[in-house]
């Protein structure tokens, strides 16, 4: 089983947004990134999509949900400010999925998840980074989480 941990796509500046941060949407660049993320992850065979309830995270997974015909479950354990250990507990629940699951979270939760994985049995070969729109693929071998592979954010600068 593979767990795809996505940091939400580009959402623009907090200071330029007037509403509650939970409602801040993706930017045009973020929408292009989310379409490319969907194209890249669609072949993975995900059977579950789980997102932070924040709008930008849900929007990041919407193109993938549309392609796969899946609903996006929202989970507060992926919300900004959530405890990384709680997000890893969610990952442990999702490991029962037959092929793959995709989660989308924030720039504070994703690195905490990765640090917890790194402190256990997971081998990391790639740089320890998590820019917006990036994905980490964490592999479950049937007994434990074993390796992590980094997928950089889609390059949408030419659009």
Over residues 121-143, the pLDDT tens digits come to: 999 989 999 999 999 999 999 99
% of the chain exceeding 90 in pLDDT = 86
- 100 pLDDT band (50/70/90 cuts)? very high
pTM here is 0.96
pLDDT at residue 20 in the model? 83
11-40 mean pLDDT? 90
**Count of CB atoms within 10 A of residue 42's CB?**
14
Q: Is 52 helix (H, G, I), strand (E, B) or coil?
A: coil
Torsion of CA 15, 154, 7, 112, to 10 degrees: -110
- 86 pLDDT band (50/70/90 cuts)? very high
Backbone angles phi, psi at 10, to 5 degrees: -55, 130
What does the alpha-carbon distance between residue 113 and residue 78 come to, in Å, rounded to a whole number?
10
């Amino acid at each position: 089983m593979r767990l795809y941990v996505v940091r939400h796509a580009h959402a623009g500046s907090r200071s330029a947004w007037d509403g509650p941060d939970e409602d801040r949407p993706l930017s045009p660049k973020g929408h292009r990134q989310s379409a490319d993320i969907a194209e890249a992850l669609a072949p993975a065979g995900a059977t579950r999509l789980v997102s932070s309830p924040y709008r930008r995270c849900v929007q990041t997974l919407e193109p993938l949900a549309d392609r796969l015909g899946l609903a996006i479950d929202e989970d507060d354990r992926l919300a900004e400010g959530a405890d990384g250990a709680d997000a890893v507990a969610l990952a442990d629940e999702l490991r029962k999925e037959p092929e793959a699951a995709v989660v989308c979270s924030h720039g504070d939760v994703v690195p905490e998840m990765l640090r917890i994985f790194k402190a256990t049995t997971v081998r990391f070969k790639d740089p320890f980074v998590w820019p917006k729109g990036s994905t980490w693929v964490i592999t479950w071998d049937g007994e434990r989480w074993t390796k992590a592979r980094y997928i950089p954010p889609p390059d949408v600068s030419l659009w």
